[in-house]
Amino acid sequence: MARTPLWSAIAETLGAEIGAGRYAAGDRLPPEVQLAARFGVNRHTLRRAVAALARRGLVEARQGAGVFVTVGRRIAYPLGRRVRFEATLAAQGARAQRTILGVETRRADAAEAEALGIAPGGRVHAIGGVSHADGVPVAVFRSVFPAERFAALPAILAETASITAALGRLGVGDYTRARTEISAANADAAQALRLRLSEGAPLILTRGVNIDPEGRAVEYGETWFAADRVVLTVAPEG
């Protein structure tokens, strides 16, 4: 059987320690000689491990200063019926921020039309952006909304910068998750840039539909989470 390369095993160990909070964002990793002694390897092997962590966006090397952690502990993110990004992070003592990068009104593709229950080719508002936790990008997202029902959504969103607040002003005071699909993905060039990862880094992709209290679909969303920065949890709900 093939053995896991030592540098890869070391990268996994250090990555897990960063994810568990042993090293916080901004902390300097122990000196190279100390880490090499800890794992019983030479410096060349250790440098390969650190380079792997850097490609995953977990650390950065600063000339003459050492290697520093660029992200904090993994954020626990539950996939429940009623999850709000800001509230979820606040409960963990983390500061949430969502940056909207673009709003476009266009025709829905087949998957979007089916998810929203609108006619094929119907108009939707597509919103894309990046979610941050304590200043670290943890996910990129794209959500679409039926444009006929929420004609004023782009204008209101420009004022509120909050999807929840904008939907509230449009008469949807509450919404819940009807279903969620989870799969694996790899970061493309644009996602890697937004998440400060290397192209091809592992992502967790979720696709979900949110509905209003009457059961009508209000949002179809796709979110690409940086796999090393979040822990997704699914709990049964009544």
Q: Find where tokens 């890697």 sit.
A: 192
pLDDT over 70 at 156, yes or no: yes
pTM (predicted TM-score): 0.79
182 or 74: which leads in pLDDT: 182
Does 19 score more than 90 pLDDT? no
64 with 158, same domain: the answer is no
DSSP label at residue 22: S
In-domain check, residue 27: yes
Q: Are residues 170 and 229 in the same domain?
A: yes
User: Does some domain include residue 94?
Assistant: yes
Q: What is the DSSP string of 56-107?
A: TTSEEEETTTEEEE-S-SPEEEE--SS--HHHHHHTTT--EEEEEEEEEEEE
Nearest-10 crossing angle of helices 43-55, 32-39: 110
Range of the domain at 172: 75-233
- DSSP SS3 for 171: coil
Assess whether 58 and 82 both reside in one domain.
no
**One domain for residues 55 and 125:** no
Predicted local confidence at residue 71, as pLDDT: 79
Q: How many CB atoms lie within 10 A of CB 156?
A: 17
Average pLDDT over residues 35-48: 92
Position 238 scores a pLDDT of: 43
Report how many domains make up the chain: 2
Same domain, 138 and 178: yes
Specify the CATH number for the domain of residue 33.
Answer: 1.10.10.10
Among 69, 87, 104, which residue terminates a domain? Answer: 69
How confident is the model over 69-109, as pLDDT tens digits? 987 778 888 777 777 777 777 777 778 888 999 999 999 99
Question: 88 and 14, same structural domain?
Answer: no
Domain boundary among 46, 69, 92: 69
210 shares its domain with 228: yes
Indicate if 58 and 164 belong to the same structural domain.
Answer: no
116 and 12 co-located in one domain: no
Of 31-35, 38-42, 78-82, 206-210, the least confident: 78-82
Section 32-57 average pLDDT: 91
In a domain, 1, yes or no: no
Long-range CB pairs of 210-217, under 8 A, 24+ apart, other chains included:
210/175, 210/176, 210/177, 210/178, 211/175, 211/176, 211/177, 211/178, 212/172, 212/174, 212/175, 213/174, 213/175, 216/117, 217/115, 217/116, 217/117, 217/146, 217/178
Lowest mean pLDDT among 1-10, 123-132, 179-188: 1-10
In a domain, 147, yes or no: yes
Residues 105 and 214 in one domain: yes
Q: Answer yes or no: do 15 and 114 share one domain.
A: no
pLDDT of 236 reads 61
117 and 203 co-located in one domain: yes
Average pLDDT over residues 153-176: 91
Q: Residue 193 falls within a domain, yes or no? A: yes
Identify the pLDDT of residue 1: 53
Q: Which DSSP category does 149 fall into?
A: T
**174 has a pLDDT exceeding 80:** yes
- Does a structural domain hold residue 238? no
Question: Domain containing 116 — which CATH number?
Answer: 3.40.1410.10
Domain boundary among 69, 92, 117: 69
Is residue 36 in some structural domain? yes
